[in-house]
Amino acid sequence: MPFTAGGLSDVLARGIAQELTTRWARPVIVENRPGANTIIAAEYVARAAPDGYTLLMANDPTLSLNQYLYRKLSYDPVKDFVPVINLVQTREILLASNGSGIDSVQELVARAKAKPGEVSYGSYGVGSKAQLDAEAFASMAGIRLNHVPYKGVADVMAALVGGQIDMAWVGVPPSIPMVKSGKVKLLGVAAPQRIAAFPDAPTLAELGFPKMVSQAWFGLVAPSGTPQAVVDKIAADVAAVVSQQAFQEKYVTGVGLEPLNQGPKEFERFLAQDRAEYEASIRNANVKLD
């Protein structure tokens, strides 16, 4: 697990591990190795024995983004891993602070055009998805925004609530309590269609930005060289776990995530498209971390 304990993906992983422990009659353990934009955990699993006993809870930075952010990477996201199962995704949404005076995407664009570089947005670090989404949106809208990086999503949400920034692109799960309590304003959803968590919120396509589609995902991968039969067995058993209604309500749909449940081949095709989109986003934002 490339993140600290207690986060959304960590809770999901522990739910899966608990179910697999029962199904396989042997302990399945979640080991947290956070840091360096998921690189620490990814390098560890890439060097592990390809026997199916060590898996990585990967996400878009791990397998699709880091290779374009870093000139030198300690693992190869394509050659060092084999896809097992893509589990869930979360759509990205555009939030504004109550103190910004911005009540719609149209108002945001108008203000940014009137005062270039004054409308601020928060992200959870240079090169993060939140920055790439903001810069992609700015490019589509023909505006210039002021980037304010923070350490994590919690810091971005606190800055939004406190009015230190005007807007931010954030995933659905951490946004639900803030939006429903009225602490921040939801302006739009970067999805092809409206989403269950916020059915009244318009998509960016409805607001004139049809190409503004963004999601983050979490999936399991194994070290390259893991036998296909082992990969298929793990994928099938995890799919059976995450397909259970009770599991979905507790760990997936119940917390604002969307199920994907893509097996090895489908996950592989998904990754090829995801990498192409991130390469374009990095070029657009002109970001490098080394």
pLDDT digits (tens, 9 = 90+) for 54-104: 999 999 999 999 999 898 999 999 999 999 999 999 999 999 999 999 999
Q: Do residues 219 and 83 both lie within one domain?
A: yes
Q: What is the mean pLDDT of residues 206-225?
A: 95
| Domain around 67 | 8-89+214-285
Q: Do residues 235 and 101 both lie within one domain?
A: no
Q: Do residues 132 and 149 both lie within one domain?
A: yes
Q: Number of structural domains, the chain?
A: 2
pLDDT of residue 19: 98
Decide if 208 is inside a domain: no
Q: Are 14 and 218 in contact (CB under 8 A)?
A: no
For 9, which DSSP code? H
Long-range contacts formed by 17-20: CB under 8 A, 24+ apart: 19/241, 19/244, 19/247, 20/237, 20/238, 20/241
Instruction: Name which of 229, 282, 274, 218 is nearest 71 in CA terms.
Output: 282
Confidence of residue 47 (pLDDT cuts 50, 70, 90): very high
CATH no. for residue 49?
3.40.190.150
Q: Do residues 82 and 220 both lie within one domain?
A: yes
The model's pTM is 0.86
Question: Of 189, 222, 249, which residue constitutes the final position of a domain?
Answer: 189
Decide if 43 is inside a domain: yes
Q: Do residues 49 and 130 both lie within one domain?
A: no
Q: Do residues 177 and 218 both lie within one domain?
A: no
Q: Do residues 12 and 38 both lie within one domain?
A: yes
Decide if 260 is inside a domain: yes
Q: Do residues 21 and 57 both lie within one domain?
A: yes
Decide if 197 is inside a domain: no
Whether the pLDDT of residue 290 is over 70: the answer is: no
**Euclidean distance between CA atoms 199 and 167, whole angstroms:** 21
Decide if 245 is inside a domain: yes
Question: Of 189, 222, 252, which residue constitutes the final position of a domain?
Answer: 189
Instruction: Name which of 63, 88, 93, 65 is nearest 76 in CA terms.
Output: 63
Q: Do residues 106 and 184 both lie within one domain?
A: yes
Whether the pLDDT of residue 286 is over 80: the answer is: no
pLDDT of residue 122: 96
Q: Do residues 78 and 157 both lie within one domain?
A: no
Whether the pLDDT of residue 226 is over 70: the answer is: yes
Angle between helix 8-24 and helix 228-242 axes, rounded to 10 deg? 110
Decide if 33 is inside a domain: yes
Q: Do residues 104 and 184 both lie within one domain?
A: yes
Q: What is the mean pLDDT of residues 195-209?
A: 95
Q: Do residues 84 and 15 both lie within one domain?
A: yes
Decide if 127 is inside a domain: yes
